[in-house]
Structure 1
Amino acid sequence: MTAKEYMEQARYLDMQINSKIEQIRNLNELATKATTVYSDMPHSPNRNTSRMEETVVKIIDLENEIDRDIDALVNLKREIMRVVNRIEPAEYRTILEMRYLQFKKWEQIALLMSTDLRWVYRMHGRALNEVQKIINSPLKAIESH
């Protein structure tokens, strides 16, 4: 795994969580839609209730998945932070934290650090080289347990 892939894990997990939250929003909208069909034909009184129950069960399942994903994201961010904290100089750590833990855009990072965007890219590359050394080191495996 490359340093960039390692660092981007949190962003992708965060995107998956947000996607599931959006799915819950859609299911809630679906569950609250009430459609009444008037007909003189007999129908099952349980038909709409079972659909509602199925939707509620799906919502609960997704909420449980989100809870597990959030726990995984918190643990992953902790692990990434342990790696980032070993990086020198402080500018490298700042760039890595803003990009991979706060999910800031490059332009935001440059603005917040009061520096040139090209400099941020250059320092980012150097910071990733330091991350690669750490994740490739045999000590990393021992420290993460």
Structure 2
Amino acid sequence: MKAKEYLHQAYRLDKRIQSNIEEMERLRELSTSVSSPSWGERIQTQRHTDALFVRYLERIEELQIKINDEVDHLVALKAEIRDVINKVTDIDERMVLRYRYVHNFTWEQIGDELNADKSTIRRWHGNALNHVVVPENPIVIQMLNSNEHF
């Protein structure tokens, strides 16, 4: 695994967690809303005996467990990434990596923090990636379900 791919895992996992939280909020809204009856013809091969809100609540519970597991993975991954970044000897390179991969700053935000222009930040970033040593057995975040895409 290349350094950039390894460091970028936390960002992708964080985005996946945020997406799951948004989905859970939509399910919460649906679980408390009143659905109107359908007066049209309905053909149903199986009859659901649970109320619709019960199914939403079950899905919310499943998502909450998944989110908690992903947050635990994110915390462990960020701790490992911080350790890897702290081994980079150049302070500017280390700060660029920290702002980019731990705090998810944009290039412009990093430039503002370090009082450097975008090209300098990108140069430091490129040099820093060459100095990152990916652990032999890194924490690698896999998709929890094969049908999830991110």
Q: Does 1:7 align with 2:2?
A: no
Q: Which runs of 5+ in 1 are unaligned?
A: 40-46
Deviation at 1:56, TM superposition (A): 0.2
Q: Which runs of 5+ in 2 are unaligned?
A: 40-47, 140-150
Q: Does 1:33 align with 2:36?
A: no
> For the structure 1 residues 29 and 125, does the alpha-carbon distance in structure 2 shift closer, same or farther, using more than 3 Å as the test?
same
Match in the other structure for 1:64: 65
> For the structure 1 residues 108 and 143, does the alpha-carbon distance in structure 2 shift closer, same or farther, using more than 3 Å as the test?
closer
Match in the other structure for 2:86: 85
Which whole-Å deviations, capped at 9, do the CAs of 1:44-77 have from their partners, x for residues lacking one? xxx7952111110100110110000000000000
> Whole-Å Cα distance in 2 between the matches of residues 109 and 4 of structure 1?
17
How many pairs align? 131
Q: Describe the SS at the equivalent of 2:136.
A: helix
Match in the other structure for 2:114: 113
> Whole-Å Cα distance in 2 between the matches of residues 38 and 71 of structure 1?
43
Deviation at 1:110, TM superposition (A): 0.3
Deviation at 1:17, TM superposition (A): 0.1
Match in the other structure for 2:24: 24
> Whole-Å Cα distance in 1 between the matches of residues 38 and 82 of structure 2?
60
Deviation at 1:37, TM superposition (A): 3.9
Q: Describe the SS at the equivalent of 1:115.
A: coil
Match in the other structure for 2:52: 51
> For the structure 1 residues 70 and 141, does the alpha-carbon distance in structure 2 shift closer, same or farther, using more than 3 Å as the test?
same
Instruction: Give the TM-score normalised by structure 1.
Output: 0.83
> Whole-Å Cα distance in 1 between the matches of residues 123 and 55 of structure 2?
52
Instruction: Give the TM-score normalised by structure 2.
Output: 0.81
- In our comparison, the structure showing a higher alpha carbon Rg is 1
Q: RMSD over aligned Cα, in angstroms?
A: 2.1
> Whole-Å Cα distance in 1 between the matches of residues 3 and 38 of structure 2?
61
Match in the other structure for 1:42: none
Which whole-Å deviations, capped at 9, do the CAs of 1:70-101 have from their partners, x for residues lacking one? 00000000111111010011111110010001
> Whole-Å Cα distance in 2 between the matches of residues 100 and 38 of structure 1?
49
> For the structure 1 residues 142 and 27, does the alpha-carbon distance in structure 2 shift closer, same or farther, using more than 3 Å as the test?
closer
Which whole-Å deviations, capped at 9, do the CAs of 1:26-59 have from their partners, x for residues lacking one? 10111111134498xxxxxxx7952111110100
> Whole-Å Cα distance in 2 between the matches of residues 128 and 54 of structure 1?
47
Whose helix fraction is larger, Structure 1's or Structure 2's?
Answer: 1
